Amino acid sequence: MSRNAVRVIIFDLLAPLVTMLAIVELGVILRWPTWWVVVCTASCLLIAQGLAVNAYLARRDSVTVGTDDDGPALRTGIVALTTISVLAVAVVGYRHWTVPDREGNADRAAVTDVVATVAGAVVNFAPGSPDSYVRKATEHMTEGQRQSFTRDFDRATAELKAKGISQRGEIISVGIEALGPEDAVTATLVRRTSVAAKAQPEESVLALRMTLAKRDGHWLVDNIAPIDRIGAQPPRG
C-alpha cells in the first residue's frame, strides 16, 4: 500500500468517521439533551461538507487533505480534533456511567448492611437485657424513627418480658425495591425463633418493609412496618 493511500485512509476517511461517531456517542451518553442535538447536527453537517469538498478536490486536483504535503497544519488539526473527541467520550462516559455505577453498588451494599442489622436487632429480644438490641437498632435510625421505636418498644415487648420469652432473628433475605440518591425502600424476610421456659421453640417468618434516608452520607432507617400491614405496594412519596 502506497504512502498516499495510507494518508487517505487515516486523514480523509478514518479521522472524520471517528469524530462523527464520537459526537454521536456523546449524545447517547448524555441522553440527547436538546442543546446536544443541535451541536451534533451542526457538527456532523460540517464534517460531511468537509468530506464532500475533500472528495471534489481529490477529483479535480488529485490531492486531498491527507496527501497535501503543503498542508501539515490542517492534518494536525484533524488529528487533534479526533483525539479531543475520543477523550471527551472517555471522560464523559466515565463520569456518567462508571462513577454512578460505583456509587450505586456502594449504596446497595450499605443499604443491605443497614437493613440486615436493624431487622436482626428489631426481632432479637432478651428479657435479661432488653435494651442491648434497642441501642443496636437505633444507631441506624433517623431521629424520628428512633423516638418512635424507643417509645413503642416497651409496650410491644411487655408480654415477652413478663413471660420470660426470648427471641432470635435470622435474616433470610434482603431485597431492594427502590434505590435513589437520597432514599431507598427494602423488603426483608426474617426468621423469628421464640424460646420460652419449658416449651419448644416456635419459628415464624416476618416480612418487613423499611424505608431509608441518606443523611450526611449515611443510610438510616426512616420507617419500619410489616408488609402485610401496608400491602404489597411500596409506600409512595
Summarised one tens digit per residue, pLDDT across range 123-148 is 888 877 767 788 888 899 999 998 88
Q: What is the mean pLDDT of residues 30-51?
A: 93
Structural domains of the chain, count: 2
What pLDDT score does 1 carry? 64
Query: What is the average pLDDT score of the chain?
Result: 86
pLDDT of residue 24: 96
What does the pLDDT read at residue 232? Answer: 39
Asked if residue 213 and residue 129 are part of one domain, the reply reads yes
Q: What is the pLDDT of residue 82?
A: 93
Is the separation of the CB atoms in 16 and 47 below 8 Å?
yes
Same domain, 40 and 80: yes
For residue 208, CA distances in Å to 66, 124, 220, 229 come to: 68, 14, 15, 10
Cα 188 to Cα 206: distance, rounded to the nearest angstrom: 8
Confidence at residue 236, expressed as pLDDT on a 0 to 100 scale: 45
Residues 213 and 112 placed together within one structural domain of the fold: yes
Q: Are residues 156 and 112 in the same domain?
A: yes
Q: What is the CATH classification number for the domain harbouring 203?
A: 3.10.450.230
Residue 237 lies in a domain: no
206: pLDDT strictly greater than 50:
yes
The answer for residues whose C-beta is within 8 angstroms of residue 84's C-beta and 6 or more apart is: none
Residues 91 and 48 occupy one common structural domain = yes
The pLDDT assigned to 181 comes to: 87
Task: Give percent of the chain above pLDDT 90.
Answer: 45
Which residue stretches of the chain are H helix? 3-7, 15-30, 34-61, 72-93, 99-123, 130-138, 143-163, 227-230
User: Whole-prediction pTM value?
Assistant: 0.65
The parent domain of residue 176 ranges over 103-230
Model confidence at 231, pLDDT cuts 50, 70, 90, reads very low
Please answer whether residues 211 and 140 qualify as being in contact, where contact means their C-beta atoms are separated by less than 8 angstroms: no
Same domain, 219 and 133: yes
Between 133 and 27, residue with greater pLDDT: 27
Helices assigned H by DSSP within 31-98? 34-61, 72-93
Residue 111 sits in the same domain as residue 226: yes
88, 109: one domain: no
Q: Are residues 108 and 67 in the same domain?
A: no
Residue 29: band (very low, low, confident or very high) from pLDDT cuts 50, 70, 90: very high
Q: Which residue has the higher pLDDT, 99 or 27?
A: 27
- Whether residues 27 and 115 share a domain: the answer is no
Same-domain pairing of 114 and 35: no
Query: Would you call 223 exposed, middle or buried from its count of C-beta atoms within 10 A (0-12, 13-18, 19+)?
Result: middle
Q: Same domain for 22 and 66? A: yes
Is the pLDDT confidence value at 69 over 50? yes
Q: Mind listing the pLDDT tens digit for each residue in 162-194?
A: 777 888 889 999 999 999 889 999 999 999 888
Last residue of a domain, one of 75, 101, 127: 101
Q: Say if residue 230's pLDDT is above 50.
A: no
